[in-house]
Amino acid sequence: MSFWQMYLSALGGTASLLVLLGFFGRSIVGFWLSKDLESHKAKLKAETDIELARLESKLAQSATQRQIVFSKLHEKRAELVSDLYALFSSTLLHMRNAQLQRLGVDVEKPEPIELAYSTFSNAYEAFEKNKIWFSPDTADIVDQALVQVANSLTTPDLGPGDSIGKETADRLNTALRALESEFRALIDDLQSEVGKS
């Protein structure tokens, strides 16, 4: 018997050899698997980073589109509020001039009552077409003012003591203040939206 045979038989022979081969085999397989695992991790991280960048880009694009739509809606709303404000102001001015004319004061030509009818008609039409653009509170106030103005304009005698005086002026001024508040709220919304970006 050779030295190695005696040595191997003393140590358990074939079983020892299998244990050694198993240990080295497991180490080699573990090394390959860890190498594959690391490359798989790197690949997953790269794919995740690409997907994350794509989603962030899409989110930024959606936010920009939303802001554009928001700005356009506010711009349209601000224009409508501004137009109605101008029509109400003109109606009030022409109604006051009509009242002054009845008191004997020389005022503009054509007749201020005709101008009041015309601007009121334009205000009424503009509001009815675009009522949805106004807040419910402002819409109610404007509706009340329109009713009051219509009643005043259909009164046959616009004298100094009739309802065109204080009540109509108060209703129109209340509507004007509501429109001012609505306009300022729009400006505040736009400023806060710009501040977010």
Domains of the chain: 72-196 (1.20.58)
The answer to whether 163 touches 151, Cβ cutoff 8 Å, is: yes
pLDDT digit string, tens, across residues 95-148: 888 877 777 777 767 787 788 889 999 999 999 999 999 999 999 999 999 998
User: Is 171's pLDDT higher than 80?
Assistant: yes
Q: What is the pLDDT of residues 13-28, one digit of tens each?
A: 566 666 766 777 777 7
Q: Does residue 150 carry a pLDDT above 50?
A: yes
- pLDDT in the model for residue 140: 93
pLDDT band at 161 (very low <50, low <70, confident <90, very high): very low
Per the prediction, the chain carries an average pLDDT of: 81
SS (H, E, C) the chain: CCHHHHHHHHHCCHHHHHHHHHHHHHHHHHHHHHHHHHHHHHHHHHHHHHHHHHHHHHHHHHHHHHHHHHHHHHHHHHHHHHHHHHHHHHHHHHHHHHHHHHCCCCCCCCCHHHHHHHHHHHHHHHHHHHHHHCCHHHHHHHHHHHHHHHHHHCCCCCCCCCCHHHHHHHHHHHHHHHHHHHHHHHHHHHHHHHHHC
- Kindly report whether the global pTM for this prediction surpasses the value 0.75: no
pLDDT over threshold 90, residue 156: no
The highest-confidence range among 10-19, 23-32, 142-151, 155-164, by mean pLDDT, is 142-151
Residue 55: band (very low, low, confident or very high) from pLDDT cuts 50, 70, 90: very high
What is the reported pLDDT for 122? 94
